[in-house]
Amino acid sequence: MDLAAARRTEEVPALLSAAAAVDTTGPLLTYCDDATGERTELSVAALGRWVARTANLLVDGCRLHPGDRAAVLLPPHWQTAAVLLGAWSAGVSVAFHPMATAGLPRIGPGADLPVDVSFVAHNRIDNWLEDVPEAEHQFVLGLDPGAEPIREVPAGYRDYLVEVREHGDSAPSYASVRPTDAATVDGTSYREWATVAQGIAESRDLRPGDRVLVDTAGQEQPVVWLLAPLFAGASVILCHNLAPGTAESRARTEGATRVF
């Protein structure tokens, strides 16, 4: 599916496939952490493999079906992109939970609804005990440089990176996901999220081929740092622990054309 087709059908999961129409070889998503020195670059194909594995983990490993719910307690990160796009590719709706320990506001409704699976950042579990919903399937993400397994997995959780690598990376089918299906547990549809993403992309004048530098400290909403650039056919540079006042100079270094 090309970008124009994705816009016509308003299918949020199809936007990853649409990105291939713009650039198949360059990095679609770059994640930088200035505190650790991590730099991870993922092309459309590389991110697509992680998305497919995540979708297969949910469908084959967890036996989830379209309409089931996932809680995502993760900061902006390349693995978060894989989890979100994987869930949406499987037709699983998402609840965005408050990132209380990071001082961030609620980024979406529906946090108190029951869920079937949860994805939680390892370094926030202890401080989120009251916010982490009970789920039959619970995965923890270390989000460490190098995507290494977690040394000590918390009781009741499975290491996402270990589990997801057991599943195939063939492209998931988008046929079962309709634009009117719920993308988030509050009932907001894929069509509605696509409309929001389109509005953000147009308000920022994003165009195919743009490179968007995002300071993760100020842009925690996935519709901003992930969906809007994908909708526009742009690539993303996620910068974590970016020194204050350095976004513009970093944008020049990275060849970014837009800064969020």
* Contact present, 14 and 183 (Cβ < 8 Å): no
The DSSP annotation for 74-137 comes to: --S-HHHHHHHHHHHHTT-EEEEPP-GGGTPPP-SS-TTS--SEEEEEGGGTGGGTTTSPP-SE
pLDDT, tens digit (0-9, with 9 covering 90-100), for 157-193:
999 999 999 998 886 665 578 888 888 888 888 888 8
Domain total for the chain?
A: 1
Q: What is the CATH number of the domain that holds 110?
A: 3.40.50.12780
CA angle (73, 180, 109) in 5-degree steps: 30
- pTM of the model as a whole: 0.88
pLDDT band at 93 (very low <50, low <70, confident <90, very high): very high
**Average pLDDT for 16-44:** 81
* Beta strand segments in 100-234, E: 117-121, 137-141, 158-159, 211-215
Range of the domain at 107: 3-259
